[in-house]
Amino acid sequence: MPVDPAAFATALAQHAAGVCLLTVRDDIDDVGTTVSSVMSVSASPPLVAVGLAAEGYPAEVLEEVGTGALTVLAAEHAIVASRFASAGRPSARHLLEQVPWTRAPGSGAIVLSAGLAALDCRLERLVEAGDHVLALLAVEDVPVLNPGARPLLRLRGRFVDEAGGAAGRG
**168 pLDDT above the threshold of 70:** no
Give the chain's mean pLDDT. Answer: 93
The fold of 5-160 is Pnp Oxidase; Chain A (2.30.110)
User: What mean pLDDT is predicted for residues 124-153?
Assistant: 96
Q: How confident is the model at residue 169 (pLDDT cuts 50, 70, 90)?
A: very low
**25 pLDDT above the threshold of 70:** yes
Query: Mind listing the pLDDT tens digit for each residue in 83-122?
Result: 999 877 777 888 898 999 999 999 999 999 999 999 999 9
Compute the distance between CA of residue 16 and CA of residue 18 in angstroms, rounded to an integer: 7
